[in-house]
Structure 1
Amino acid sequence: MVDTGVVCRQVVDGRELIGIRLHWHKRYITLAPVASLIGMAFRMYDPDGLIGDTRDIGITLGLLPRDTAGVEIGRRHFPLNSTFQNGPIKGKDVFIPLTQLIGGAAMAGKGWNMLNECLAVGRSITLPSTASGGAKAVRPVGRPLRGR
């Protein structure tokens, strides 16, 4: 299943809003089990032309709170007793207003560039912490071998 968002109208708290109806299923998301705010990348479509003439808008990024209706966060993966918090996340018929897009409607379709710009930052955080956890796990095992 491709992670998709379709521009639509929905009444929220008595007001009609233009937003995106999201559907996704991601299996291995860093920090998903403990996240309070979720950053979501999805392919955005506007079949009814509600925000412009382009129908296939492209990869777009949005932010949504963990407790948004339709969001389901699964149990933490625990392969090889890894200490890092990774897990599945999925959503069906999740509505977010356009104001929850990163950069607003003006940045819709520019998600691929935004993701590439952030890739190095994310790796600079996760790789050292994972290496540190691995070193801590190996150290007690190596201690008895040191005397030989």
Structure 2
Amino acid sequence: MSPVDDGGGRFDVVDGRPDFDTVYTRCPTCGVVAAAGSADYPLTAGGDADLSGEIRLTCAPAGHRYTVTSAAFFARDAVRTCARPGCGTTFACPAEADEVVCPTCRLYQPGPFLHADDRRRDYVRRVHHDYLDDVRARLHRPYGDPQ
């Protein structure tokens, strides 16, 4: 795969780099399929993304950090319409996605897979709430407290 190759439409490319709101992977820790919350990847000499090796991602719904290769990127084989009033953008996403991001307004919203299984929806909601509870607890710790 060349540095700016989108892997057959698996993600959007902007200025020679992947738009990571359109890159979907499964977090190996919690199993949630979503766009990355953050990404760290090498650059080519020309400044484009080099996706030929390891890419470090953060799970947006749970904050887990993990490493993948571009082979782990899900195909965007379904279509979703943004839920934000006034946006209405129709965009491609994986059918297995638990959470998707509108590439126009950047709203994070339930993915197509959550409509198929109530237990899955409850699980993903619990993963996200547990992460937010952890963040809140860290914010309330005294400065410098490692716990």
Same fold per superposition (TM over 0.5): no
Q: Per residue, is there more helix in 1 or in 2?
A: 1
Question: Which one has more relative contact order, counting CA pairs under 8 Å at least 6 apart?
Answer: 1
The structure number with the bigger radius of gyration is: 1
Q: Which structure is higher in strand share?
A: 1
